Structure 1
Amino acid sequence: MGLWAACGDEALRTVQGDTSGTFLRGAENWPALQRGELDRAHPLVALVGDLRSLLALNGTEHEQIRRLLRPAFTPAAVKQRRSQIEAITERLLDGMEQAGPRVDLLDYAWELTVEVFLDLFGLGAEHAATLTDITTRAFALSDPGVHEEARAYIADLLDRRSPEAEGDLISLLAAAQREGDVSRADAVDTCYLLIVAGFDTTLGALLNSAHALLTHPDQRDLVLSGRVAWAPAVEECLRRYSSVATLPIVFTTRDVELCGTELPAGAGVLLGIAAAGLDPHRWQDPEVFDVTRNPRGHLAFGHGPHLCLGAHLARLELETALSGLLTRFPHLELAGPVPPLPSFMIRRPASLPVNLGSGAVHAA
């Protein structure tokens, strides 16, 4: 497709932070697509081609929808979920202890993130399998038909939501659609983005972080001993092992030089989120996983107008789940191969088998 990729920290910041209109999102800004030179059935083209979501909107349209969603993701709103997330974590750890000694942490990560996720959207447990299937297929980029299937499913959720319902994202978007604050297409595609971006990314970050700490026992000991707090340790996990590998696509509206490279007008630029965390111009010894470093400023949650709305919630889930897991099972160890998920967009293990070890530690 002749795409470029912004992989360095400076390049990614420039592209994501642009407010001049040089780098725009949305299929209408993809000249090759508009000229009919690309196969619309290609999974990546289908993903970008006709979806109207926060990832595809610019300027005031983008800000309007962010403003609508922002109250659900403020630090204060997220703080109210802490006790719920702690209770879910403890219950899952109890179940893991009973099921051991060998378990797959994929199950732990999935059950935690999907339960928080369903509550955020006001959905029951019967929706878990469908949402997981949609997310997995969307990120695999192997089934372009998943987008229309997902839209139909989400449209039905919005249509069925009672006008009296409130306090969750489905109700919020349904009300905004009824009142004319957002179009039906924007409501459906925004919900689709929140489902895809809000689930597997957090699940992947949890698996990546657990794997990192298990394979770096010296770093795990620093955190468990209290010499390093969980919050900065999680930030280092996010920098070094971002679950978001690559995001599509931003388009140049004019000829432009980006970090010494000349890009023509109409160029498609992929966002190399994980690569930016390994930029040697930004980080000293970037390949080294070091929980004592200051990883502030990493780009795992993006940058600029498109900074991830769910960053506060993801951090809370990660800190709670990781601290609970490794405090309960301080002798946790890998129990087999860790295969990667086949996706160029999401970077995480397809499974993470572990032995719980002896001497589970319970809070007093």
Structure 2
Amino acid sequence: MKMVQPVVIDLLELSPDFIRDPYPVYAKLREQGCVHHVQTPYGEQMWLVVGHDACRTAFTDPRLSRDWRRSGNVGQILNAAPDNPALAHMLMYDPPDHTRLRRLVAREFTARRIEALAPRVQQITDELLDAMEAKRERRADLVNDFAFPLPMTVICELLGVPELDRQTFRNWSHEMVARTSPEAQAAAYAEMPQYLIELIEAKRAEPGDDLLSVLIHAADDDGDRLSPDELIGMCVLLLIAGHETTVNMIGNGMRALFAHPDQLADLRADFGLLDGAIEEMLRYDGPVETCTERLALEDVEMGGVVIPAGSTVLIVMADADRDPTRFEDPNRFDIRRDARGHIAFGHGLHYCMGAPLARMEGRIALRSLLERFPEITGVCDDAMLSWVPGMLIRGVRELPVRW
């Protein structure tokens, strides 16, 4: 087969509205092939993998690496030095290092621990809804008043992060996953580890019943344990992944319901549809648009196209879950659809370990919200909303609602 080296495609030239609605652009690319060399809205050149089968294959291809630290190319994707301890976590490694780190954390991040959080998640949810209900104007920002503080409080309590520091963590997290400038991202990567060093030392001196205290002292059967840098890196990963996905799962899910009032009415009438509705929300407009960047360790051929060694590769999960070869009429939002098989939480080695926590928080949050405010609705059109920058996290910064 003759290999083709495609021209660089400017995503904004395909659609000036790409940030708000990238799905038509991805669909157009998918019709032409599964691999494309593109320029992102932020001027970076990347290789995109689109289509359900191609994305699943790419997730399991060992030639597409996450080990940017060992490659020395961290600066290609982040404004942080390779030895920054914030990067010493399992999402930045390939096996066998990834296998070791995931095993150490998975021992403590169990289904039993997650399910035990449900009463506290319900309590936090009810308190946030009480505060919303007290607003005399019957209006709120669903992101800042509900979707953000719920998972942020849960993950901070789980890890043992003091309450007063949570807004600071939010700012650091935003810069790490969707930077406003290279300088701001570099500052976040410098400041968060420094704070965590002090927090870990405090937990080491006076352990609590939180996950961080457990991780400090946890060891496997061979006596292996997380190093000081790995503790910092794991905290960074759990704090960021532990709230960013859930915030935007709730926000995107509610936007989809507002845009489809028949589906919203059906869900209000029968909460037995809730589990399926959450899976459809994840498929239809999930919180993670593309995977974290992969590094091509060698020339990689996919679909008759060669991705050159050293290239940055993004696997477009958002497009995989709108592929008509996998989901019938994929652009239709249908809470009764069997949406199993979506890859909103990734696929393969790096499948999101926190997916059960996100689903549990989503179930409690959405049911409680719709029971408390059955007439809740969005206030403004999507075109007027402020969107999270970048191509990693998909969601809005604010979501004005009324009831």
Same fold (TM over 0.5): yes
Cα drift, residue 231 of structure 1: 0.6
Cα drift, residue 49 of structure 1: 4.6
Cα drift, residue 277 of structure 1: 1.7
1:1-364 superposed matches below 5 A: 2-18=45-61, 21-28=62-69, 30=71, 33=73, 40=75, 44-46=77-79, 49-50=82-83, 51-100=87-136, 101-106=138-143, 107-141=145-179, 142=181, 143=184, 144-163=186-205, 165-176=207-218, 181-226=225-270, 229-336=273-380, 337-356=384-403
Structure 2: unaligned runs, 5 residues or longer: 1-43
- Larger deviation, residues 148-157 vs 162-171: 162-171
Number of equivalences = 345
Cα drift, residue 268 of structure 1: 2.3
1:168-190 residue CA offsets vs partner (Å, 9 max, x unmatched): 2321333259x762222222112
Residues 94 and 147 of structure 1, relative CA distance in 2, 3 Å threshold: same
Query: C-alpha distance in 2, partners of 1:334/1:273?
Result: 26
Query: C-alpha distance in 1, partners of 2:107/2:135?
Result: 39
Secondary structure of the residue that 1:46 maps to in structure 2?
Answer: coil
- Larger deviation, residues 321-330 vs 159-168: 159-168
Query: C-alpha distance in 2, partners of 1:166/1:128?
Result: 18
Query: C-alpha distance in 1, partners of 2:341/2:321?
Result: 10
8 A contact 1:26–1:48 mirrored in 2: no
1:4-49 residue CA offsets vs partner (Å, 9 max, x unmatched): 122322222112223xx32221125658x39xxxxx3x7x333595
8 A contact 2:69–2:92 mirrored in 1: no
8 A contact 1:159–1:174 mirrored in 2: no
Cα drift, residue 254 of structure 1: 3.1
Secondary structure of the residue that 2:204 maps to in structure 1?
Answer: coil
Query: C-alpha distance in 1, partners of 2:191/2:291?
Result: 21
Cα drift, residue 71 of structure 1: 3.6
Query: C-alpha distance in 2, partners of 1:72/1:88?
Result: 23
Instruction: Normalising by structure 2, report the TM-score.
Output: 0.79
Query: C-alpha distance in 2, partners of 1:248/1:301?
Result: 12
What is the alpha-carbon root mean square deviation over aligned residues? 2.3
Query: C-alpha distance in 2, partners of 1:268/1:61?
Result: 21
Residues 226 and 341 of structure 1, relative CA distance in 2, 3 Å threshold: same
Cα drift, residue 312 of structure 1: 0.4
1:284-330 residue CA offsets vs partner (Å, 9 max, x unmatched): 22221111111111111111111101000000000110011012111
The residue that corresponds to 2:5 in the other structure is none
8 A contact 1:105–1:354 mirrored in 2: yes
- Larger deviation, residues 125-134 vs 165-174: 165-174
Instruction: Normalising by structure 1, report the TM-score.
Output: 0.87
Which amino acid in the other structure matches residue 300 of structure 2? V
Secondary structure of the residue that 1:59 maps to in structure 2?
Answer: coil
Secondary structure of the residue that 1:182 maps to in structure 2?
Answer: coil
Cα drift, residue 111 of structure 1: 1.8
8 A contact 1:3–1:269 mirrored in 2: yes
8 A contact 1:71–1:77 mirrored in 2: no
Secondary structure of the residue that 1:157 maps to in structure 2?
Answer: helix
8 A contact 1:157–1:170 mirrored in 2: no
Residues 73 and 219 of structure 1, relative CA distance in 2, 3 Å threshold: farther
Cα drift, residue 346 of structure 1: 1.2
Secondary structure of the residue that 1:247 maps to in structure 2?
Answer: coil
* Identical-pair percentage: 33
Query: C-alpha distance in 2, partners of 1:74/1:278?
Result: 31
Query: C-alpha distance in 2, partners of 1:200/1:308?
Result: 12
Which amino acid in the other structure matches residue 8 of structure 1? G
Secondary structure of the residue that 1:248 maps to in structure 2?
Answer: coil
Query: C-alpha distance in 2, partners of 1:180/1:283?
Result: 44
Residues 17 and 242 of structure 1, relative CA distance in 2, 3 Å threshold: same
The residue that corresponds to 1:362 in the other structure is none
The residue that corresponds to 2:3 in the other structure is none
8 A contact 2:271–2:367 mirrored in 1: no
